[in-house]
Amino acid sequence: MARATAALLAALSAEPTEPLRGTGIGTRIYQGRACVAATVGDALEQLQPGDVLVAPFPGPAYNSILPMLGALVVEVGGAMSHAAIMAREFDKPAVVGAAGATTRVPDGALVEVDPTRASVHVVSV
């Protein structure tokens, strides 16, 4: 039982090796610090210029902070979602529709957003 519990805990705490997948917006690959934010208030408190915002669904309330982002990762949405349109408008690399991003990407981790491959990879924690 102790070995099984240890194996389960090790599996749960392991870094994800498979990148997150979604719909890529843009053509530039970007690496930066992940800022995982459930609300616009969380984002305003935590974001630093150049960060990668990882959020469930940033709507119009996030528009004022988009210019300071390095990239955007969103759990919900597609090529015509508000997040995708704003990423194109501000020329920010993005991956939208990356289900599970807010739970799989650790806050503060170095992440690579690759819109050409429609993937998000945790580089280091």
User: In angstroms, what CA-CA distances link 34 with 3, 84, 85, 120?
Assistant: 34, 18, 21, 11
User: Under 8 Å CB-to-CB from 37, ≥6 apart: which residues?
Assistant: 43, 46, 47, 53, 54, 55
46, 56, 65, 82: which one is catalytic?
Answer: 82
Q: Return d(Cα 43, Cα 34) in angstroms, integer.
A: 11
Classify residue 53 as exposed, middle or buried by CB count within 10 Å of its CB (0-12, 13-18, 19+).
buried
Decide if 121 is catalytic. no
Active site residues: 82
